[in-house]
Every structure is written in C-alpha cells, then in structure tokens.
C-alpha cells in the first residue's frame, strides 16, 4: 500500500485498533487546530465553566503553604502557586463519591470516575467531508456520538482510580445501560468477570445507575459539540459526587477506551474516513480548498465492513 488512504477499514483496525492515542495525535499534527489547547487541564476547566458546565471546583486562593506538623529547620514546608495566577497547580478541595456510587465501593475507595468517549464527525473539514465520509449527513445529524462508557472503580486505600503500575490494579464496570458487567483489569492485563467487589465481597452485579450514566453521556456530547467540535475523539472523566452532583473532572484528547465495549467496525470506519481527509490536507491542501469537487481524487470512498460489535481492551 502506498498510504493509509489505500488501507481497507479492516487494515486500519489492525494498525490502530489498539492505539486510539495515535489517531488523535496524527489529527492534531496535521490540522494544528487550536482546540487541542484544551488538553491543558486548567485551560479546559476555565473554558467549560465559562460555557456553563458543572466542573470540579477550585479554590480561589493565590498560593498555599503546607507544613508538616513535626518537621523543623525549614523542612517539610511546601509552596503551591495557584493556576488562577498562572501557577502550575490547580488547587481544589477533595471530592467524594455520591451515596449511590459509594455504596458500590470500599469505605476507603477514592473518587471513582466514569470515562465517556465521544466522537465528532465535524472534525473532518467541511470541504473534505464529501470525499472522505462514507455516511455523512448534510443536515448535521449524528455528528456527535458516544463510542463507549465505563466506570473506573478504584481499589480500597488507593488515592485515585488510576492503576499505579502493577501494585494498584484497577477494575472496571462495563455495560451500565443494560445491567452492570464487572471486569477486573489484573496485574497480568487480563479480563475477569466479577459478581462481587474484590475488596468488599458485596454482591453488586445488576445495580442500576442508568440515570447517572445518561446525564454524563448528555454532558459529554454537549461539551464535545460546544468546546471541541474539531477534535475527533474526546475522553471525558466525570464523577457523581456527594456535594456537587455530576461534575466533569477533565478531558483527555489522547485517550483510550480502557476496557469498555466498543462497536469496532463503526470506530474503524470513523478512523478510516479521517485518514482519507488528513491525507488530502497533507498532499492536496491548496487545490482541494479552491475546488474540492473537481479534484481528480475527490470521489466518495466506500469500504466493506464486517457488521458486528466487538469489545476493545485498549
């Protein structure tokens, strides 16, 4: 093959199916879109709040000084300059899980977030949509969609719901819309189904949290459309908290699906369409912009897909 444009959808899946990070990185490199600046956590929080979204709140103080209660001689003293005055630190009070989420977890579990991954077809430039998108709708419908959603439940005593190397294995809850399917991401990076929480022994299979998930997916889609429509894939970290309801913690523009269920043929087609457009941007920028319909390569591309859903463990 001479380029990624010549790849079939299946070949795209084989190359990028387990590397959702590589695809947005290429898109950012080729388009240089300013919306990628929202990868910065502080820039994103400010923008999201300005647009009226519920974000994890920060403290309105210029600086913090933390002192150890026993150390002396200038030891154990730490200074943190707030991002509000161009410092490096976003200073926040700790958030705790809502009652419903906390009931699923050990008493000492950290704030446990939901990763919602959304896709934007608007990330393909308008003048290239006709030559790359196999199922493009001119009326704007279905431009934004949810690719996956999973619950990242931190383990007992952990500080966050992230896996800390091989010592703090994180486990995931899948399929929340049709009854929860519980999975363990083990130290061997394998999947295991669980009916009970591995730390508490509580039976948790089938617990209903549809209302919370629906709200998070609605928020994620709206944020993608209003804040980052030119970015193809966004991984939103949201939490159901005890004091602030549902809040968005951050957005990840080089994200992964974790162990969520994904319609892989649909995702591979989405990636394929973007690669077609990105190659036009790279090699035919001027002529396509001037007259996209008369360019010799400007014709719709189609590809055969095997129509089945699969689960991605990326």
pLDDT tens, residue by residue, 60-74 = 999 999 999 999 888
Highest mean pLDDT among 173-177, 211-215, 276-280: 211-215
Q: Which residues contact 156 (CB under 8 A, 6 or more apart)?
A: 106, 107, 108, 109, 199, 200
DSSP E strand stretches across 189-268 = 191-194, 233-241, 245-252, 261-262
Q: Which residues contact 267 (CB under 8 A, 6 or more apart)?
A: 13, 119, 147, 312
- 39-97 pLDDT, tens digit per residue, is 999 999 999 999 999 999 999 999 999 999 999 888 999 999 999 999 999 999 999 99
Q: Of residues 179 and 65, which shows the higher confidence score?
A: 65
């Amino acid at each position: 093959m001479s380029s990624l444009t010549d790849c079939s959808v299946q070949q795209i899946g084989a190359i990028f199916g387990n590397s959702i990070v590589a695809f947005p990185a290429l898109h950012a490199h080729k388009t240089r879109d300013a919306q990628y600046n929202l990868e910065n956590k502080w820039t994103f929080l400010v923008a999201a709040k300005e647009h009226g979204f519920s974000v994890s709140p920060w403290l309105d103080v210029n600086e913090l000084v933390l002192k150890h209660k026993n150390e002396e001689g200038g030891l154990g003293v730490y200074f943190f300059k707030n991002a509000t005055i161009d410092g490096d630190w976003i200073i926040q009070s700790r958030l705790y899980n809502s009652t419903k989420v906390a009931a699923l977890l050990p008493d000492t579990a950290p704030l446990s977030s939901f990763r919602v991954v959304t896709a934007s077809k608007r990330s393909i430039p308008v003048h290239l949509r006709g030559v790359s998108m196999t199922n493009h709708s001119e009326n704007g419908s279905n431009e934004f969609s949810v690719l996956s959603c999973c619950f990242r439940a931190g383990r007992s005593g952990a500080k966050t719901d992230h896996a800390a190397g091989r010592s703090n294995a994180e486990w995931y809850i899948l399929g929340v819309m049709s009854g929860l399917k519980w999975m363990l991401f083990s130290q061997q990076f394998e999947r295991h189904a669980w009916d009970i929480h591995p730390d508490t022994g509580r039976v948790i299979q089938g617990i209903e949290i549809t209302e919370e998930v629906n709200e998070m997916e609605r928020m994620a889609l709206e944020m993608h459309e209003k804040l980052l429509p030119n970015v193809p894939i966004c991984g939103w970290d949201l939490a159901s908290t005890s004091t602030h309801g549902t809040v968005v913690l951050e957005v990840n523009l080089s994200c992964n699906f974790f162990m969520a269920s994904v319609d892989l043929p649909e995702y591979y087609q989405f990636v394929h369409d973007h690669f077609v457009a990105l190659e036009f941007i790279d090699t035919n920028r001027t002529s396509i912009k001037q007259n996209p319909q008369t360019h010799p390569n400007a014709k719709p591309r189609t590809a055969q897909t095997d129509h089945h859903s699969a689960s991605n463990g990326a």
